[in-house]
């Protein structure tokens, strides 16, 4: 690009609303990540595709991994909706079905999703987002189990908050194995197998909260 074109591009971008410009950079970055892989993607290629200067990229994203933070939130949104739609009248069935639908969402994202999840294990910023998401997930599971208990689908002696922590641990463990296996195993099957053991234990502890 000549100096003249560079100046014209910068002037044009000054008229673009900030959020629209951020979205343009984000979309370009995700396209390049999908084509090149996260590690193989160059910021210069992202900015060229977005039609912005390299400095503009850094105004929004201090590093490539920060684009993945926005991607994480975008992938998490439909998963939250799936959790909110679970039927409280049959908790074990609903949770197993939730896991199967989440796996469909994750697999549809392809290799980029695995890049994100692997990066989340090593990048401090992404770990913070992942931990915050986990805390929110545990709270949502607890709310769901409270609803199930309220309509008699769970024993009254079961503690929803503590049970939610157990379910989240099972989910997190299944996710780690799935990432390590690069998606070559069934996330839903691993989760459902251990979930069944938990619910079998819960059903056998009438009047008692799980430990």
Whether 46 and 72 share a structural domain: no
53 lies in a domain? yes
- Return phi, psi of residue 26, to 5°: -60, -50
Whether 97 and 193 share a structural domain: yes
Mean pLDDT of 121-148: 89
Mean pLDDT of 173-189: 91
The rounded mean pLDDT for the chain is: 86
Is 0.75 topped by the overall pTM? yes
Domain hosting 122: range is 65-203
Q: Interior CA angle at 69 toward 66 and 73, to 5°?
A: 155
Q: Could you please report the per-residue DSSP string of 61-81?
A: -SSHHHHHHHHHHHHHHHHHH
Are 191 and 173 spatial neighbours (Cβ–Cβ below 8 Å)?
A: no
Name the DSSP class of 87.
-
Q: What is the pLDDT of residues 104-115, one digit of tens each?
A: 999 998 888 888
124 lies in a domain? yes
């Amino acid at each position: 690009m000549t100096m003249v074109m560079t100046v014209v591009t910068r002037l044009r971008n000054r008229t673009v609303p900030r959020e629209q410009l951020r979205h343009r950079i984000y979309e370009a970055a995700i396209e390049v990540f999908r084509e090149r892989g996260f590690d193989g993607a160059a910021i210069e290629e992202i900015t060229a595709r977005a039609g912005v200067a390299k400095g503009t990229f850094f105004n929004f994203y201090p590093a490539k991994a920060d684009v993945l933070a926005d991607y994480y939130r975008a992938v998490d949104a439909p998963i939250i909706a799936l959790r909110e739609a679970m039927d409280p009248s049959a908790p074990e069935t609903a949770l197993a079905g939730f896991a199967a639908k989440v796996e469909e969402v994750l697999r549809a994202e392809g290799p980029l999703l695995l890049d994100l999840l692997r990066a989340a294990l090593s990048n401090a910023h992404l770990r913070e987002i992942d931990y915050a998401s986990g805390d929110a997930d545990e709270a949502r599971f607890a709310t769901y189990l409270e609803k199930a208990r309220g309509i008699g689908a769970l024993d009254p002696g079961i503690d929803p908050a503590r049970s939610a922590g157990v379910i989240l641990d099972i989910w997190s463990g299944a996710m780690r194995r799935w990432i390590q296996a690069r998606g070559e195993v069934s996330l839903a099957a691993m989760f459902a197998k251990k979930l069944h053991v938990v619910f079998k234990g819960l059903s056998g502890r009438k009047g008692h909260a799980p430990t």
